[in-house]
Structure 1
Amino acid sequence: MAETTAHTEVPSGQKGVFPPFDKETFPTQLAWLGITFILLYVMMSKVALPRIGSILDERKTRIDTDIAEAAAFKRQSEAAIAAYEKALADARGRAQTIAGETRDRLNAEADVRRKELEAELAGKLAAAETLIAETKTKAMANVQAIAADAASAIVEKLIGKAPASDAVRAAVADATEGGRA
């Protein structure tokens, strides 16, 4: 089996032990490791970490400020929405009030106009009834004269001689009054 020790070539071409595992250089390597670690720790704690901390603090401050501004804007938008909804509700209420007032006013105007038309139609109806009564009275007066003429003409045709006009008028008057009773 092959040997398990690690070997490397050195510039002179000789084979030797890998330097970190070399027993002769181990204490100096350990010292330099300590020095390097301490220097790196000091640089990190004095230079890099404070810068990173200040960047993180600045970022946290900016985020907190942005969150506060967002909350303020949210409150403003909620107040604006509430004001808008209140204005909308007020406008709807005014619109309903105006619609109700307009409806009531138009109903009142329609009632007044309807009453005026009813009164006008009642007047025309009364005038028409009066005219009909007058026309009927005139027609009835003419009916007796026409009936007397017709009866006289019929009797003359039947008997060949014209009857006395007073007798015909009396007979027609008697017949028309008898028909009414």
Structure 2
Amino acid sequence: MPQFDPASFVSQLFWFGVVFTLLYFVVVRPTLPKVGKVIEARETQVAGDLDRAEAAKGAADALREQHEAAMKAAREAAQAAVAQARESAAKASEAQLKALNSRLEADADAAATTLAAARAAARASLEATVADLTSEAVAKLAGIAITPADVSAALAQN
């Protein structure tokens, strides 16, 4: 390979230097100032954007503090309204409970009276049924004829 021949190193280095210098002055030299201007413009724009962002952050912080203060005031007002509503609901429920208790006591008294009458009627009916069934059972089992009145009299003695 000719590029690795040590005899041609000097000429290769010469042409490398010529081509590099030519490319430097033709391509890099005219574009370097333009790139520098673009970089400066970007730095200026970024600095302006950062300043505007700081100002916006300060405004946002002020708005957040105002919002938090308004939320705190609204929360306190809501808690006061809830406490007042609870108090009025407790008073109303207490009045309703008193009315309900008095009505329930009246209903319980009426139910107790009705229950006592029903028990008395049931006992009377039960005694008559027991007397009839007992007289029939004694007639079938022992073959003795007993009237229900006799059975009732016997049960009343015990």
For the aligned pair, the TM-score class normalised by the smaller chain equals: 0.3 to 0.5
Which structure has the highest helix share of the two? 2
TM-score (norm 1): 0.40
Larger radius of gyration: 1
